[in-house]
Amino acid sequence: MKEPEPGSGGRRKQNSRKSKGKGKSKGKKAMIWTGGSLAFLLVAGCAGGYLYYQHLNDNITSIDDDGASTGGFSKDRAINILVMGTDKRSGSGNKGYGDEGSVGHADTTILLHVSKDRTNATALSIPRDMIIDIPDCPTKQDDGSTKNIPGTQNVRFNESLGQYDRTPSCTMRTVTKITGITPDHFMVADFNAVKTLSSAVGGVDVCLAKDIDDPKSHLKLPKGKHTIEGEDALAFVRTRHSVGTGGDLSRIELQQQFLSALMRKLKSNDTLSSPKKMISLAESGTKALTVDSKIADIMKLKDLGMELGKLDMKNLSFATVPVIDNPAEKVHTTVVPDPTKAEQLFAMMRADESLTVVKKKEKAEKAEVAARLKGPKADPSEVRVDIYNGSGKTGAAQTTLTWLQNNEGVLKSSQLGNAPSDIKKTTLEYAPDQADQARRLADIMGLSGAALKPGKSEKNAQGLPAMKLTLGGDFKGAGVPIDASSKAPKDIKKVEADKVMCAK
């Protein structure tokens, strides 16, 4: 049993399985996706037989997930992995970065969502300075008992790890509270992971649009293309004062560029065809990472890696939780989730929708429903609709009417109070000759094709034909798309993994 490191904020259990006997030596190709403080690792090609397998197993460090996960990934559903990096200064050569002896924080956090059909993925960065509520965290102790670490309200997200003895399971619960997505697994690493993994692949290719000289991160590079590893790689992903606006959001963009470049290097023939690099990656990855106990085994990691390895990198998008300046501050040093855009993005991920365009086979029924949204759209000024409130939320019809008229130009609208009964899903009923109006209103309100009900219209107070919009339990507020999964937030920033970008 490996003793906890001072200030580690959790129990680190070192695998110590020892087996007698010698297995047959046979080639194994393992595609192992893991992640670190600022990096994902894809290890492909692990040879050497049973003894080497046992050696790698002994490298793995694990921590219990305290029941905060789904219980483990499955081949028949989407996969969600929480990749966490701590800013704890443990490890050789890291004392000079400041905060020596700190228990660390959730310095970099990425929720990786891989679709059920493995055709696409979204890597969602969660800003460390985002103000959120951290829930209570039941945490298993070394003696088998469970300690409840109380939650805190209105604090930075980075306090979900390390602080008050919070373990990765606390960060998992916090992410679930924020996004509505329960991770299957977690992976954690400190600064050394970036240094060792970038060196294991022979360096990562990055691009700078300007000279950078950041004394805080120790990065000093002229503009242009560079291949970086070790200390330079760590400095690159830590710098923020010399790029963008100089804040954490700019640093996230830099990290996403680095991760995209690392992914391209890992998938390149230069890496995959080199046994030396493969062994170096296997060693670095298993030593650098702390994983949850459910995947603390090379074969389990291999199974996970085989699933994730099916992904075409061109369909991997890096995105960041949409945020706005914290309205509670006069001088803005923190942010809060954008109340509209953030929920849209979370809903897309929950619904297994991609930020990239991926060809999928559609069933005839689904295609027919989707077709209702295709075709010409009327001008908002021509849309005539009566609004009923079947949501169970007081004032929903009136707030929607006000928003449609004042913000969207749908002036020929009226609200007629409560529907005969509450309904779960919002519906829009319309006559065939109102299809162009229905498509426009669906676009404005973020309605899915399933919400559109072709049929007949009703007469409004003036005796004119009008569509009938009945708000359902899925109504979240005026201006918030009804079916957020059907519509990506406007102007969302994302980085596609197969695109080369230069840091500005």
**pLDDT reported for residue 241:** 65
Question: Are residues 350 and 414 located together in one domain of the fold?
Answer: no
Q: How high does pLDDT run on average in the chain?
A: 79
Place of tokens 């034909």: 465
Of residues 407 and 461, more confidently modeled? 407
Q: Residue 313 sits in which domain range?
A: 13-190+247-357
Written as six digits, the tokens of 389 are 């409130």
d(CA 83, CA 85) in angstroms, rounded, equals 7
Is pLDDT of 31 > 50?
Answer: no
Question: Are residues 342 and 400 located together in one domain of the fold?
Answer: no
**pLDDT reported for residue 290:** 86
Q: What is the pLDDT of residues 323-353, one digit of tens each?
A: 999 999 988 889 999 988 899 899 989 988 8
Question: Are residues 317 and 408 located together in one domain of the fold?
Answer: no
Question: Are residues 145 and 277 located together in one domain of the fold?
Answer: yes
Would strands 384-389 and 335-337 be described as parallel, antiparallel, or unpaired?
unpaired
**pLDDT reported for residue 126:** 94
In a domain, 223, yes or no: no
Question: Are residues 254 and 345 located together in one domain of the fold?
Answer: yes
In a domain, 460, yes or no: yes
Percent of the chain surpassing pLDDT 70: 77
Question: Are residues 339 and 449 located together in one domain of the fold?
Answer: no
In a domain, 225, yes or no: no
Q: Where does the pLDDT of residue 82 fall: very low under 50, low under 70, confident under 90, or very high at 90 and above?
A: very high
Total tally of structural domains belonging to the chain? 2
Residue at which a domain ends, from 336, 357, 378:
357
Question: Are residues 375 and 345 located together in one domain of the fold?
Answer: no
In a domain, 21, yes or no: yes
In a domain, 239, yes or no: no
**pLDDT reported for residue 25:** 34
Of residues 106 and 494, more confidently modeled? 106
Question: Are residues 282 and 418 located together in one domain of the fold?
Answer: no
SS3 124: strand
CATH at 331:
3.40.630.190
Q: Where does the pLDDT of residue 103 fall: very low under 50, low under 70, confident under 90, or very high at 90 and above?
A: low
Taking a C-beta distance cutoff of 8 angstroms, is the pair 194, 36 a contact? Answer: yes
pTM above 0.75, yes or no: no
Backbone angles phi, psi at 412, to 5 degrees: -85, 60
CATH at 444:
3.30.70.2390
Question: Are residues 377 and 308 located together in one domain of the fold?
Answer: no
Outline where DSSP puts E strands in 349-464.
384-389, 412-418, 427-430, 452-454, 458-459
